[in-house]
Amino acid sequence: DFDSKKKRKVAKIYQALNSDPIDVAALRRMAISEGGLLTDEIRCKVWPKLLSVNTDDLPRLPGKELREDNKDYQQVLLDVRRSLRRFPPEMPDDQREGLQEELIDVILHVLKRNPQLHYYQGYHDIVITFLLVVGDRLATALVEKLSTHHLRDFMDPTMDNTKHILNYLMTMINQVNPEVHDFMQSAEVGTIFALSWLITWFGHVLSDFRHVVRLYDFFLACHPLMPIYFAAMIVLYREQEVLDCECDMASVHHLLSQIPQDLPYETLISRAGDLFVQFPPSRLAQEAAQHQAERTAAFTFKDFELASLQQRPDTVLRQRFREQPRGEEQTKPTLTKPRTNRFAMLAMMGLTVMLGAAALAVVKSAPEWASKFELQIFP
């Protein structure tokens, strides 16, 4: 039965590839559904279609002169040298060393052609996956398209956008399981444990290459934020482990940063898709912006102001007030009666403007994402 299902799926994939025009929607469905794209041979044909890459016009890689006076070369070299575990263990040393050289060239080529992109540690883990599946020339084209779209936020000069995306993780966990969210908040674990998951599309943390390429099928066919939905599902799936953990940062971080290698990937992929439908990016952005706004001085100032108006004088001042002669008290009524003057009015106007600006910032920070999950989620 499994073999017959696989044959039917392969037939549907080739039917979509041979359509005129190519049925990209069907290819997305095949990439997302159980088993993904099945083989690397099929991935070589389908991944370029998912990224709209023309395989008839692939770039030729430059020579070693690209490494001369390149600001990223030394860091890329260090990362590639540490990438031994990402290659199949049975691969001969000379073949692996040749692929590592190709890996360096692919990365530097993409960065050279796109100076607005900034290299980050972990980027090479994504490039390795493409290199092993499709070879250097096609990998270069696919990675370049991916870097200017799905990975764009990770390749800014700062990590601001990456941290903003990580904030969505806690927002989703809170929506689905407030108990787990509150436990993680109490432990002050933050979201740094999921950073390598997100920026490498889990390539750095999964030891089985089959699981890595299965996730890449899924992510390439989906919205760019799908990796953070999948990350949320991993945490939610491990709910009991989290709640049984010691409620401190070190313990919870250690637990979550170690991804079990026997996760039910197909189940988690399906649930991540459901989570996307239930909490689309537009809603996540609003929730995250609201949460961030609630932590600002502007948001909490009204409570601060009300509390300040209810203060009582300390013991010494109360004692002095009781001992004050009644005659003097009558001659200085302004000491015990608040005044409304233009300074108070200006202060209130300033508060109103400040709160209004904060509200506007919250609204503007929620981008107008597509709210439909068309064919399981391509934007």
For residue 130, the surrounding DSSP H or E stretch is helix 123-134
At residue 369, the pLDDT reads: 36
Tokens encoding 245: 């953990």
- On whether residue 336 sits in a domain, the answer given is no
pLDDT per position as a tens digit, 125-157: 999 999 999 999 999 999 999 999 999 999 999
The residue type found at 341 is N
Instruction: Please check whether residue 110 is in contact with residue 119, taking contact to mean a CB–CB distance below 8 angstroms.
Output: no
Q: Are residues 238 and 199 in the same domain?
A: yes
pLDDT digits (tens, 9 = 90+) for 299-357: 566 666 666 666 666 665 566 656 665 554 444 444 334 444 433 333 333 434 333 43
- Looking up residue 213, the CATH number of its domain turns out to be 1.10.472.80
Condensed to tens digits (0 to 9), the pLDDT of residues 95-108 reads 999 999 999 999 99
Do 291 and 178 fall into the same domain? yes
Q: How far from the centroid of its chain's Cα atoms is residue 170's Cα?
A: 11
CATH number, domain containing residue 27: 1.10.8.1310
Residue 127 sits in the same domain as residue 64:
yes
Residue 104 shares a structural domain with residue 83: yes
Percent of the chain with pLDDT over 90: 66
What total number of domains does the chain contain? Answer: 2
Task: Provide φ and ψ at 197, rounded to 5°.
Answer: -60, -50
Q: Is residue 75 part of a domain?
A: yes
Q: How far apart are alpha carbons 51 and 126 in whole angstroms?
A: 15
| 126 shares its domain with 164 | no
- The verdict on 181 and 75 lying in the same domain is no
Within a domain: residue 349? no
pTM for the whole structure: 0.77
Per-residue pLDDT of the chain (379 residues; tens, 9 = 90+): 788 999 999 999 999 999 999 999 999 999 999 999 999 999 999 999 999 999 988 877 777 778 888 899 999 999 999 888 899 889 999 999 999 999 999 999 999 999 999 999 999 999 999 999 999 999 999 999 999 999 999 999 999 999 999 999 999 999 999 999 999 999 999 999 999 999 999 999 999 999 999 999 999 999 999 999 999 999 999 999 999 999 999 999 999 999 998 999 999 999 999 999 999 998 888 877 776 655 556 656 666 666 666 666 666 556 665 666 555 444 444 433 444 443 333 333 343 433 343 333 333 343 333 333 333 333 3
Domain membership of residue 196 as a residue range: 159-295
Catalogue the E-assigned strands of 136-284: none
Residues 103 and 169 in one domain: no
Q: Assess whether 87 and 233 both reside in one domain.
A: no
Long-range Cβ pairs for the range 134-139 (8 Å, 24+) = 134/40, 134/43, 134/44, 134/47, 135/44, 136/61, 136/102, 136/105, 136/106, 137/58, 137/59, 137/60, 137/61, 138/44, 138/48, 138/53, 138/55, 138/58, 139/106
Say what the pLDDT of residue 296 is: 57
Cα angle: 298, vertex 299, 304; to 5 degrees? 85
